[in-house]
Amino acid sequence: MEVIECNELKLWLSQPPKYTTFRINALKTFDKSILEEFLKSQSKELGASQIPRYYFVRPDCLVLEQWSDEVTVEKTGMDVIVDAACAAAVLRGAHVFAPGVLGLPVNCTLEERVDIYGDLEGHCKRGLKIQYEGRKQYVGTGYLKMLRPQLYDKGVQPSGIAIHTVLPASKLPVVNETLFPKGEVLLQNLPSIVCGWVMDAKPNEIILDMCAAPGNKTTHLAEMSKDQAIIIAVDKTPQRTAKIKENCDLQGISCVTSYAYDSTKCCSEESTGINNGPPFPPNSFDKVLLDAPCSGLGQRPQLMNKMTPKMVGSFKCIQRKLIAEAVKVLKVGGKLVYSTCTITESENEGMVAWALDKFPSLKLIPAEPLLGGPGLPNRGLNDEQSAAPSTFVPNL
């Protein structure tokens, strides 16, 4: 039974979701005709009788489904090898960017249609000219936009689109935020968007985002509050906080202040207020979002993963430190939202059970809206508590 469940889980992890989700900036006006016209042009190229279905879960969440089974492209026999991360992105509907290309035949020509394969072992050497004999997986077909001199010229870091993907093996449409005016649309996974809905940021609330970079959830909170909350975003390095500011500027947000600081030390009894940045005094925030560093074993698809059990177990320590600080800075009656992008018991149900036991002041409340499934039973939470989290994993 355990072997069967493990294989089912591995299969689920290796497959991309059957839809793409976009977060729509509530501070801007979304023109769906741009999407429809683009999909119509793609349908002509692919010989599809209709465009893929799309719909809004909420006004700020657009879901785009796969092409129908009638849409196919024949393989060309011209194989291009990309790294596993790039291959996973192609399955999600991305183009192939130059740094991800490992092997490219010498007889390719520009605009030639090629087949894209992901290296499943990490053994393909960059610049390979011949057929790759290692384990590989077909992930899509597209048109070649760069040749070997552009990709492998010594001393030059290649950049830009190397292959314009036409159809991923997943049959997800090749659509990204660059199709729309800047800052209007953001590619964001549904569970990540749900975090913002559960936080439910309101104007004038004082909110802390503890591990905020690159700022996707931060900007969502700002938009939900109509850019009228007081949001402080913290991450460990200036490079990461610069990314938060860049995303806020792009999306027209002014209510976010970001700081480079270690959130495991973000509370201090000696602090005089939040205006001077971290550390913050106790009881400072109406709401705290802790999207914790984690093992990332819920990100799909995962074609190759080098995470060891020891590495997985290491995240528990920092997650506990972060929760402890979040409890300190949270006001009485405030809301703490804890989220991860992994599926391990120790980082999810086990971590919630630890927090409830360690901090009697905490009370677990049901996620609202509750779009995912319940937590795993018998993992430290009783039946009522297991129903409160919103999880997006198989019922294994």
Q: What is the mean pLDDT of residues 365-387?
A: 88
Tell me: pLDDT of 370 over 90: no
Residue spans in the chain of domains classed CATH 3.40.50.150: 190-386
Residues 79-168, CATH architecture: Roll (2.30)
User: Residue 58: what pLDDT?
Assistant: 96
Question: Exposed e or buried b for every residue in 36-69, given b needs 16+ CB within 10 A?
Answer: eebbeebbeebebeebbebeeeeebbbebebbee
Domain 190-386 = CATH 3.40.50.150? yes
Tell me: pLDDT of 2 over 60: no
Confidence of residue 395 (pLDDT cuts 50, 70, 90): low
Sign of CA dihedral 199, 200, 201, 205: negative
Question: In this predicted structure, which of 30-39, 262-271, 377-386 has the lowest mean pLDDT?
Answer: 377-386
| 275 marked ligand binding residue | no
Sign of CA dihedral 157, 163, 169, 170: positive
The pLDDT > 90 percentage for the chain reads 86
| 69 marked ligand binding residue | no
Per DSSP, what are the bridge partners of residue 88? Answer: none
The pLDDT > 70 percentage for the chain reads 98
In this structure, which amino acid lies at residue 322?
L
| 21 touches 189 (CB < 8 A) | yes
| 394 marked ligand binding residue | no
User: Residue 394: what pLDDT?
Assistant: 67
- Prior bond of 181 cis (ω within 30°): no
Neighbours of 161 (CB within 10 A): 15
Tell me: pLDDT of 6 over 80: no
| 377 marked ligand binding residue | no
| 27 touches 251 (CB < 8 A) | yes
| 214 marked ligand binding residue | yes
- Give every strand in the sheet of 285-291, ordered side by side: 256-260, 230-235, 206-209, 285-291, 330-339
Question: What would the pLDDT profile of 131-160 be if each residue is shown by its tens digit?
Answer: 999 999 999 999 999 999 999 988 778 999
Residues known to be catalytic: 341
Q: What is the mean pLDDT of residues 60-81?
A: 95
CA distance 58 to 277: 34
CA distance 107 to 12: 37
List CB contacts of 349: < 8 A, sequence separation 6 or more. Answer: 375, 376, 379, 380, 381, 386, 389
Tell me: pLDDT of 98 over 50: yes
Confidence of residue 232 (pLDDT cuts 50, 70, 90): very high
Smallest CA-to-CA distance from 160 within 151, 168, 169 is with: 151
| 127 marked ligand binding residue | no
| 262 marked ligand binding residue | yes
Q: What is the mean pLDDT of residues 63-68?
A: 96
| 67 touches 52 (CB < 8 A) | yes
Residue spans in the chain of domains classed CATH 2.30.130.10: 79-168
Q: How far is CA 246 from CA 249, 266, 267, 304, in A?
A: 5, 23, 26, 31
Tell me: pLDDT of 373 over 90: no
In this structure, which amino acid lies at residue 264?
T
User: Residue 396: what pLDDT?
Assistant: 55
Mean pLDDT of all residues belonging to the chain: 94
| 215 marked ligand binding residue | yes
